[in-house]
A = this chain, B = another copy of it.
Amino acid sequence: MIFIQELREGLHVSRVFLCKQKVQGTSKAGKSYYSLKLQDKTGQIDAKVWELNNAIEHFENNEYIFVEADITTFNGALQANVKRIRRARDGEYDEKDFLPVSDQSVEAMYTELMALKDKIENPRLKALVESFYVEDQEFIAAFKDHSAAKSVHHNFIGGLLQHTLAVTSICYFYCKRYPVLNKDLLLTAAMFHDIGKLRELSDFPDNDYTDEGQLIGHIVIGYEMVKTRIDRSPGFPKKLATELLHCILAHHGEMAYGSPKMPSLIEALALHHADDTDAKMEIMIEEFEKTGSQDFLGVNRFLGTNIRKTSKSE
């Protein structure tokens, strides 16, 4: 299969795409047509279906469709002029080819995360973590597939895992650097800090805000997911539970960024810094990966300033 990044004007393609957008329009001549956005993991291409005849089967947004089309250019950009469409059949395609994925192996990252989990000594906390990350197969499957964002950073399959691993790993380093930190509490909080995103964002290929995500948000959802599990664990120390839940609630660091409380405990403070560091680093990394330019790329709206890649050392 030729991926979108490899398409050139003049080619004819017969392959499966993920249809990310389908809009019906009417030409000046009063005729209906479709404007589509077709996607695979290498990018997106605009497509037009000018003739809505019976070579065009019914399909919806976010469906996999088998497309025959000629590749042309319009206003300097490639465009697929579609002749035939039908829904793709199971087995004809592999989801991984159509969705953005982490460039790191999901399984390797999960193994690394489990190794960090094993540093937790407190049996209460370890059992709590394992009730999600070892025993709950539905959670594990969803966690491995999920993104950490709709856009911004880590918005790809495995993104939530990759971010969670990075944050937990930074926290583990902090524990060695600052012995005052309660390692068990901090590692547990790091592993749970963003699990609310499993309900805030829908699964791929949709990867968009859910109603609960919009109205409640991953911080409070994550709080509730952990609180509910703790409540089922008789004898879990009240103060420890409150401290763990506080770390989850406070991890955005400022109320203005959606944390209902600012960090009052040193583990909450450490978690916030680990989370913020990985988020900001990843934003810059993802911007740089999009371009070969060594020049300034313009003001980045999340970082608030003009950024450029560091020069190659001479």
Contact = CB atoms under 8 A, between A and B. Distances in A.
A281 B307 CA distance: 28
A239 B211 contact: yes
Interface string A14-53: 0000000000011010100000000000000000000000
A296 B214 contact: yes
A73 B28 contact: yes
What's the interface size class on A, roughly?
A: 35 or more
Contacts of A306: 214, 264
Number of this chain's copies in the assembly equals 6
B211 A313 contact: no
B296 A264 contact: yes
Interface string A255-277: 11111111111110110010011
A227 interface: yes
28 contacts: A9-B30, A25-B76, A28-B72, A28-B73, A28-B75, A30-B73, A174-B277, A178-B285, A180-B288, A182-B313, A185-B310, A214-B261, A215-B243, A215-B261, A216-B223, A216-B249, A220-B223, A240-B311, A240-B313, A255-B257, A258-B260, A258-B261, A259-B260, A262-B304, A262-B305, A264-B306, A266-B284, A266-B285
Lowest 8 A-B CB distances belong to which pairs?
A215-B246, A262-B305, A273-B277, A256-B256, A239-B311, A266-B284, A173-B173, A260-B260
A170 interface: yes
